[in-house]
Amino acid sequence: MKQTIKLVVMATLCLNFCYGQGTNKSYIYALTAYKSGYKTGYRITDDHFLRGRAITVRNYTLPQLFALALKLESIKDNSVKVKDQQQIIIDVHQPEKLNKKYCFKLVVPYDHQDDFYPLMQRTLNKEFPEYLVKIEKRDKNYFMVIRDQEY
């Protein structure tokens, strides 16, 4: 009897986990603070456990995370240039808050691979609603602009 109850509980938990992952949310992510001992960087891999693709980013600043989500080249060594004609404009009241480093992981099912970077941008916008980040064209040059969100 006890073994049957354990089996039913385990089956219920597994079904709820699978059902919740499939219908309520098409992706999962995690955002944590700086982790010592890890080099700054990112990698994109297949996630066999959740049957999808994953991006793992370690110790990036907020502008670097948004540049990656917008599919711009990653910013190396806190330099301002993203590409030759793309730059970052920071127009916030407390720019020192943007220097804090984060680790980020996003797992997207294979059937949502086309939404990989838009989902990353959406999750960052959700986690940092105080900022408005977008690409603007000014005088034939493209800029990533980070502003304080107006409420």
Q: Is residue 4 part of a domain?
A: no
Q: Is residue 111 part of a domain?
A: yes
Q: How many domains does the chain have?
A: 1
Q: pLDDT (tens digit, 0 to 9) for every residue of the chain, 151 residues total?
A: 556 555 554 555 444 444 434 444 688 999 999 998 889 999 999 888 778 899 999 999 999 999 999 887 544 444 434 454 458 888 999 999 999 999 999 999 988 888 889 999 999 999 999 999 998 888 887 888 999 987 5
pTM of the model: 0.73
Q: Is residue 12 part of a domain?
A: no
Give the domain extent around 39: 26-148
Nearest-Å Rg of the Cα atoms of the chain is 19
Identity (one letter) of the amino acid at 82?
V
Q: Is residue 81 part of a domain?
A: yes
Q: Is residue 20 part of a domain?
A: no
